[in-house]
Homo-oligomer: A and B are copies of this chain.
Amino acid sequence: MVTVASELLTSRFLMGRRRRQLRPDELQALEACIVDVRTLPARTTFVTRGEPLAFSTLLIEGWISRHRDTAEGQRQGVGLQVPGDFVDLHGYPLGYLDHDLTTITACRIGLVPHERLSILMAERPHLVKLLWFSTLLDAAMHREWIFRIGRMGAAPRVAHLICELHARLAIVGLATDAGFDFPLTQQDLGEACGLTNVHTNRVLATLRKRGLVSVARRRLDILDLPGLHDFAEFDPDYLFLEDDARRHSAIGRRAEGG
Is there an interface contact between B146 and A145, defined as CB atoms closer than 8 Å? yes
Whole-angstrom distance between the Cβ of A70 and the nearest chain B Cβ: 6
Partner of A149, one of B125, B130, B139, B149: B149
Residues of B within 8 A of A138 (CB): 139
Instruction: Label chain A's interface by main secondary structure.
Output: helix
A136 to chain B, nearest CB (A): 5
Take A50-B237, A70-B151, A143-B68 as given contacts and tell me if A132 and B98 are in contact as well, using a CB distance cutoff of 8 Å.
no
The residue that A94 contacts in the complex, of B79, B128, B142, B240, with Cβ under 8 A, is B240
3 closest A-B pairs by CB: A150-B194, A142-B142, A139-B139
| 29 pairs from A and B in contact (CB 8 Å cutoff) | A49-B237, A50-B237, A68-B144, A70-B151, A74-B151, A76-B147, A76-B150, A76-B151, A78-B146, A79-B143, A93-B129, A93-B132, A93-B133, A94-B133, A94-B140, A98-B144, A98-B237, A98-B238, A121-B128, A125-B125, A132-B132, A135-B136, A135-B139, A138-B139, A139-B142, A145-B146, A146-B146, A146-B149, A149-B149
